[in-house]
């Protein structure tokens, strides 16, 4: 089976940098994804790591260490609109199913 | 493209009634997923299809739930009979099935069973 662990809540101030960690246990692993979900909205894709290392997309970066079964999402120059829930997910590759973590609620304060 | 379309956006029904949720995936996407989201259980995959064929329905909670995909542009999730514990937000998502695990979610249907 699959299990993923994330902190339930993180609070940071506007303009700061925050890191959301994710550890996973899987029976088969192809990649780690990150999704953002605002209250009342749908999850939207942020990033994907299949190989070890850092992937950067604007203010967001995602890191993966396959040997440690660990990844993180790094958000820089935080803005109020970044307040949302962030989910890590592991998948079977391509169109295969994703298993989502329990989500981390990020609160950005002034 | 309009994105994934779901209907209805909100549904309130009474226990024992049949509920049908509808989804139109993004054109050209070969994979379609149905998820359920609750505070207690998080985001759970119920079933997914590849080229209209159900691939994995191990997440379907019980026989009261059924899903169909009669063609590439339409899928339904049916609950019969509905129970209060089925109250949740139900999301449909589609994916082109490329190497990265990007899924495109619809706006969801908020179901309340009284």
**A71 and B CB contact within 8 Å:** no
Are the C-beta atoms of B85 and B74 separated by less than 8 Å? no
Element holding A47 (H helix, E strand): strand A44-49
Which residues in chain B have their CB less than 8 angstroms from residue A102's CB?
A: 42
The pLDDT tens digits for B40-92 are 989 999 999 999 999 999 999 889 999 999 999 999 999 999 999 999 999 99
In this predicted structure, the answer to whether residue A94 has a pLDDT above a threshold of 60 is: no
A33-61 per-position pLDDT tens digit: 999 999 999 999 999 999 999 999 899 99
| Cβ contacts of B39-48, under 8 Å, gap ≥ 24 | B42/A100, B42/A101, B42/A102, B42/A103, B43/A43, B43/A87, B43/A100, B43/A103, B43/B91, B45/A97, B45/A98, B45/A99, B46/B77, B47/B77, B48/A97
- CB distance A48–B50 less than 8 Å? no
Q: Which residue of B has its CA nearest to A45?
A: B102
Is B5 near chain A, with CB under 8 Å? no
B57 and chain A: CB distance < 8 Å anywhere? no
Contact between B103 and A45 using a beta-carbon 8 Å cutoff:
yes
Beta-sheet pairing, B53-56 with B74-79? unpaired
């Amino acid at each position: 089976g699959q299990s993923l662990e994330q902190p339930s809540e993180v609070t940071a101030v506007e303009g700061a940098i925050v890191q959301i960690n994710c550890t996973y246990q899987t029976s088969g692993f192809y990649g780690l994804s990150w999704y953002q979900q605002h209250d009342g909205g749908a999850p939207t894709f942020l990033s994907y790591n299949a190989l070890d290392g850092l992937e950067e997309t604007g203010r967001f970066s995602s890191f993966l260490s396959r040997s440690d079964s660990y990844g993180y999402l790094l958000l820089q120059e935080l803005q109020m609109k970044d307040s949302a829930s962030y989910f890590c997910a592991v998948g079977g590759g391509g169109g295969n199913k994703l298993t989502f973590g329990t989500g981390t609620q990020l609160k950005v304060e002034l | 493209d309009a994105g994934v379309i779901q209907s209805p956006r909100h549904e309130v029904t009474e226990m024992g009634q049949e509920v049908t949720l509808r989804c139109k995936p993004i054109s050209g996407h070969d994979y379609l997923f149905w998820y359920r989201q609750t505070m207690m259980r998080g985001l759970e995959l119920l079933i997914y299809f590849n080229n209209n064929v159900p691939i994995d329905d191990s997440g379907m909670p019980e026989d009261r739930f059924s899903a169909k995909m009669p063609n590439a542009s339409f899928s339904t999730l049916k609950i019969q009979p509905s129970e209060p514990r089925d109250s949740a937000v139900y999301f449909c998502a589609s994916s082109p099935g490329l190497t990265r695990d990007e899924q495109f979610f619809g706006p969801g249907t908020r179901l309340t069973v009284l």
